């Protein structure tokens, strides 16, 4: 199981694009994507407010927008070398 967190906020079109990009990567239904609304938490809003969308990986590394499919696939392959990904 591959767990990712996407920090987002309501009405953010870049956040919507990031979510679509992440969901477009073929992971054979092994992806668990959790969306975190930063507007509900002052500390998250302060940390991510000017950087969203931000995707966080299981190893606590993050990619700030504007990340590409290639960036995502590269990071996922690094974390899960036995899992085939499609670009």
Instruction: Quote the tokens at residue 66.
Output: 């504007």
* Residue of 87 and 77 predicted with greater confidence: 77
Q: What confidence score (pLDDT) does residue 86 get?
A: 57
**Strand (E) or helix (H) holding 34:** strand 31-37
Helices within the chain (DSSP H only): 13-23, 42-48, 69-79
Q: In this predicted model, what pLDDT tens digit does every residue of 38-81 receive, in sequence order? A: 999 999 999 999 999 999 999 999 999 999 999 998 998 888 87
What pLDDT is attached to residue 26?
67
**pTM score, two decimals?**
0.88
Kindly list the domain boundaries of the chain, sorted by start residue. Answer: 2-78
Task: Give me the architecture of the 2-78 domain, per CATH.
Answer: 3-Layer(aba) Sandwich (3.40)
CA atoms within 13 A of residue 80's CA, in its CB half-sphere: 15
């Amino acid at each position: 199981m591959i767990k990712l967190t996407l920090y987002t906020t309501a009405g953010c079109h870049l956040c919507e694009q990031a979510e679509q990009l992440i969901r477009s990567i073929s992971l054979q239904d092994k992806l668990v994507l959790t969306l975190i609304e930063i507007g509900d938490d002052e500390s998250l809003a302060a940390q991510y407010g000017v950087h969203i969308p931000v995707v966080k990986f299981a190893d606590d590394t993050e990619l700030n927008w504007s990340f590409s499919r290639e960036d995502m696939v590269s990071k996922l392959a690094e974390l899960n070398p036995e899992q085939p990904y499609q670009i």
